[in-house]
A and B are shown apart, each in its own frame.
Chain A
């Protein structure tokens, strides 16, 4: 009886619904349409229909686009291996100790609260050629100054802070998962003679496989959306576009080169890639987890 009168419903649902329709759904659909048309500037209307032209250009005619895609994919692999990997190791270690667990939780999580922009600025101070922190260490040890953002090192140097910042995030998620594993399981395993690493490998990991899959999915979708850190440390994919990721390349193409329709196509590729990859990981590893 209370909620039979539907008039108030409009007041409650309409504002949010309108905002989402106008600022998420409509733009999202328009963006798909835009990617099939020629658009000359950021504010000019759609012109002729070019079909899949932009997508063909991305995959066949644009070396830098392929490079940015490749960088994104490599970064994804690195996040799964290092972010989730390090987080898992740390979480297992922390769950093995009594004292200081809370301290490590708080400390490890801290970089996530800091904006990636500030962290980018901080790392550019580390990487600077003249008087940067790393080069001060190198010269103090008697070495020659190193150009940290050179062609062959730039990608790794940009990837390091990206990986480093979010380890704590997955650490907390995995730790929460570990705390859900009941002590009984370990006790019965110990009775059966499982110890140390064996216990971890055969009991703990299978039990938290759900959590690990969630982490990997998050790491992958996170890696696709990387933007702030590279755009501060290595502007416009410097040097020579070698540190472009899909996100930064999309920004560069859309808002700097004003190749708007192409930028739209790149953003669609980002969405598709994200959905496909996270689904695939979920499905592949999800089944594995059940078997374990």
Chain B
């Protein structure tokens, strides 16, 4: 009822507003839908009709127009076969044997019957059977699954098993790198914020302004000396190098956010704890850190997403494909498999789908975390 009433109140002006808004929503959603849809298709199909939904069944056909199936049987000469038949004079089947089964003993009488001569004789008699065309070279096992051009998970299998650019391995590396960076940044920035807001000492204002000024350094302006430093200490092409550099790169932002938050925290609890005999360490771990949870969530989300998406540092500091996180792997895929559209679509989908699911659950926090990062330079 409510809906209908709403429609009645829909003025042309409002309809236009919705039309414009939906149009932009379409541009932000359609590309991802398109990519996910095509990730379930064979490359040959992505190239020819990328708009048909992937759940429409499309089979692969051989040059004779028969559906290609996953299992192709071979005879003892290594030729592909489906089944061997022996026929009586009147054309009825005398013997029917699946030649691919190990039951066939080469020395047995049956094998003799099935031998080269036998099959030659059969050829004439079975030529009229459509499923047994000896000239094609391929005879498919009709009980096996047909090879689908759509839908197919072949692209995903490639993405997860390809030794050269393995996305699963990329995910592992990404989680190690971004997870560690996230935890380190959360911890270090809260410690720094705690130190800089609770104690007064000479040089405190200088350090504070150093933190704020560090927001302005883009990675470009530090990367060469950092690269040289990392190489000198032998950390080049290791996960730790990326972790250290990204941690440093995110600290300034995280410290700024945490300082703002910790300053506003009331000191009473800490003082009470001090009177109870807690030291600064205890107070930090048991009181300040737990109280910082809301701000930490912002820092965590921002840091993780930033680190996960930061291609530049990954590209500079990592050379081995085995160590590359997802983004670097994606770039490799685009350069090496740029013509395998199905594989590329699957690679993008593999990166997009988990983020999409996470986003659906955490959208409020993510939007807040990333726009708070607006102050990051």
Contact = CB atoms under 8 A, between A and B. Distances in A.
A130 B198 CA distance: 63
Nearest to B273: A2
Interface of A: 1-3, 5-6, 8-9, 11-13, 15-17, 19-20, 22-28, 30-31, 34, 42-43, 86, 89-90, 93-94, 96-97, 99-100, 103-126, 128, 130-131, 133, 136, 164, 167-169, 172-173, 176, 214, 218, 221, 224-225, 227-228, 231-232, 235, 246-247, 250-251, 254-255, 260, 263-264, 266-268, 270-271, 274-275
Contacts, number: 272
A100 to B, nearest CB: 8
Contacts of A3: 198-200, 280
Contacts of B284: 12
A118 B24 contact: no
Interface residues of B, number: 102
A91 B226 CA distance: 41
B185 to A, nearest CB: 9
19 contacts: A2-B270, A12-B280, A19-B248, A24-B248, A26-B225, A28-B217, A28-B222, A31-B224, A42-B231, A109-B370, A118-B352, A125-B344, A130-B47, A131-B47, A136-B49, A136-B50, A227-B312, A247-B312, A271-B217
A131 B225 contact: no
Interface-centre pick from B18, B31, B347, B366 (highest chain A CB count, 10 A): B31
Contacts of A133: 34, 50
Main DSSP-derived SS at the A contact region? helix
B117 interface: no
B220 to A, nearest CB: 4
B17 A23 contact: no
Interface-centre pick from A34, A93, A124, A125 (highest chain B CB count, 10 A): A125
B351 interface: yes
Contact of A116 (B196, B247, B281, B309): B309
Given A111-B28, A118-B352, A267 B201 contact: no
A275 B327 CA distance: 29
B284 to A, nearest CB: 7
Interface stretch (B94-102, B133-141, B333-341): B333-341
Contacts of B220: 225, 246-247, 250, 266-267, 270-271
Given A23-B248, A24-B217, A107-B29, A15 B327 contact: no
A17 B207 CA distance: 8
Contact of A23 (B14, B244, B355): B244
B308 interface: yes
Given A20-B214, A34-B225, A167-B24, 19 more contacts: A12-B192, A16-B188, A16-B251, A27-B226, A90-B24, A108-B28, A109-B366, A117-B311, A117-B327, A121-B334, A122-B31, A124-B344, A133-B50, A136-B48, A173-B371, A231-B331, A251-B315, A266-B220, A270-B221
Interface string B8-31: 000000100110110011011101
A23 B352 contact: no
